[in-house]
Structure 1
Amino acid sequence: MCLITFAWQPNTSMPLRLIGNRDELHARPTAPLGYWEGSADIAGGRDLEAGGSWLAAKRGGVVAALTNVRDPQLAVPPGAPSRGELVTDALQCNDIDVWLTALSQGEALRYAGFNLLVATPQRLWLLHRSRERLTLNEVPPGVHGLSNADLNSPWPKLLHVRSALGSAFENNFLGGWPSVVQQAMQNPQEAANEELPDTGVGVALERQLSAAFIVGERYGTRATSWLTLDAQGNIDITEQRFGPLGSDEGETSLALPSGL
């Protein structure tokens, strides 16, 4: 994914609410949200070119989401595996804590830059791999945003969608989840030049990528996805898909009961 905002509220009836956009080339082959062949307990979209996923969930109460870190100066090891495999591995490993710790101690350096969120009803981890550092932390309670840099980096689109989710909590709009935040996630307005981050890709591309919802013929927002994870481990997930120039390509909703 390229933009996520989420509310992490452990020790409540609904620990996690998350909504995010996946931006990608429209020609890249993709399987829509569905249960995975050979892994009936896992649901998510799938990248059919390199494998893996950007957002998926496992029955019993595990969620994994990925954003790339945008940094042309980050040297990618030859033959680096797809970062989308991290989502798959997070949902299939036997011990999340041990697996994440091993990645944070150096195994993650095999990959290009990324942020990996992994959640259960009790814990939410963030593994960050960039040119400057490799870190594993538990996310503090609150409303957060994540794009192609650090957690809560003050990019205009991140601040906008995070503010929308925060306002929904403050004004008790969550009964209509995710409509208020969905409007912010699907806003195509680009940031002014003076507000743009500098990630080394040039002003024109920075401006295009500054929109929460990117509308383009070749590249753009392919999906808006949202999910909830409750204290019992029940997960509800929806994916709204888009084609070139933001054309509607359908919507899918799935429920993954905890089975407990």
Structure 2
Amino acid sequence: MCIAYIAVGVNADWPLIIAANRDEYHARPSQPAQPWQDEPQILAGRDLQAGGTWLGLTQSRGRLALLTNYREAPNSKNSKQRSRGELIPQFLVDERSPAEYLEQLAKEGADYAGFNLFVLEWPDTQQPVRLGYYSNRHPSGRPQKLEPGVHILSNAWLNTPWPKSLFLKETLQAQRFDGSPQAVEGLFQGLRNQEVAADADLPQTGLSLEHERLLSSPFIVSPDYGTRCTTVITINQHGHGMLRERSFNPQAEPVRQHDWPLLWPSFHPDSPLHPSHNSNRATDGLLSHPTSSKETS
């Protein structure tokens, strides 16, 4: 994943909005977002080469995490480095608090190539949301506790003002999300922007100028590497929401969309919105199938 817009507690009616692009080599195999067979409580896409993921959640735990690589000059790969994609499923099923998990991860940061990890826990709507961030390339070497608000994560440290990050933040913040199909599509379209930044504004991360140009737009298009999918997660004040994932081919044409209903789980037991007060709601977390799966040939 290469860019994510994260809005927590900003919209009173929709307190959790995430809109993210995953960029990857087109030849690298992956599966779309779905419950994992070996960990059914996890809803996430999956990298079939290393077995991890870039974005996932567990409704039963009220947890969500997303990961981006930290962009830096290529170097000789350490064959003993662990897969960064394993961090998300580890957090999603971990019993420790986000802060405790990240503190332990900071002790193991050297085991991985450069990464950024954003984690969220909101197990009860009567309690404050807990947010955390850690990068094994940040000079502090320590996890950060985050406050609700708007955050942008690309392939530098959290909220680094790269051109693509500034554009996405300004574009999506300007939209008044109300849960309508038009508003959802507005999030998708904001992430489809392919405008390349001016050379003077490009970050200097050790890559070639041509490569920096290619990576400077929120949505990346090239024959070998580009935006593979866009994910939009929206959850309203009642805990109901949707995870929508739209996949693209190398020509940037949408080829598939999966829509997964969400019921953020742990309402206060006395609340009429708690799943136990409505037998028609799924109380085991994930539904067994998406509401729609659209294929485009």
TM-score, normalization: structure 1?
0.90
Whole-angstrom CA distance in 2 between matches of 1:258 and 1:79 = 37
Query: 1:155/1:248 Cα in 2 relative to 1: closer, same or farther (>3 Å)?
Result: same
Q: Shift of the alpha carbon at 1:95? A: 1.3
Q: Which segment drifts farther, 132-141 or 245-254?
A: 132-141
* SS of residue paired to 1:179: helix
Shift of 1:16: 1.9
Letter in 1 for 2:90: D
Question: Which residue does 2:40 correspond to in 1?
Answer: 40
The RMSD of aligned alpha carbons is 2.1
Structure 2 partner of 1:101: 103
Matches of 1:44 and 1:224, distance apart in 2: 13
Q: Of Structure 1 and Structure 2, which has the larger fraction of its residues in strand?
A: 1
Confirm whether residue 239 of structure 1 aligns to residue 245 of structure 2: yes
Counterpart in 2 of 1:125? 132
How many residue pairs are counted as aligned between the two chains?
A: 256
Higher helix share: 1
Supply the AA of the counterpart residue of 1:255. P
Greater Rg over alpha carbons, structure: 2
| Cα distance, 1:236–1:134 mapped onto 2, change above 3 Å | farther
Structure 1 stretches lacking a partner, 5+ long: none
Structure of greater relative contact order (alpha carbons < 8 Å, 6+ residues apart): 1
Q: Distance in 1 between matches of 2:245 and 2:63?
A: 17
CA contact (8 A) 1:50 1:82 kept: yes
The corresponding residue for 1:178 is 184
For 2:141 and 2:240, how far apart are their aligned partners in 1? 31
Aligned residue number for residue 80 of structure 1: 81
CA contact (8 A) 1:10 1:141 kept: yes
Using the TM superposition, name which of 122-131 and 239-248 deviates more.
122-131
Contact 1:67 1:148 in 2 (8 A): yes
Runs of 4+ in structure 1 over 6 Å off: 73-76
Query: CA deviation digits over 1:149-180, x for unaligned, max 9?
Result: 01111111110111112112xxx343443332
Q: Distance in 1 between matches of 2:96 and 2:2?
A: 27
Structure 2: 5+ residue runs without aligned partners? Answer: 123-128, 267-297
Cα 1:131–1:118 change in 2 (3 A) is closer
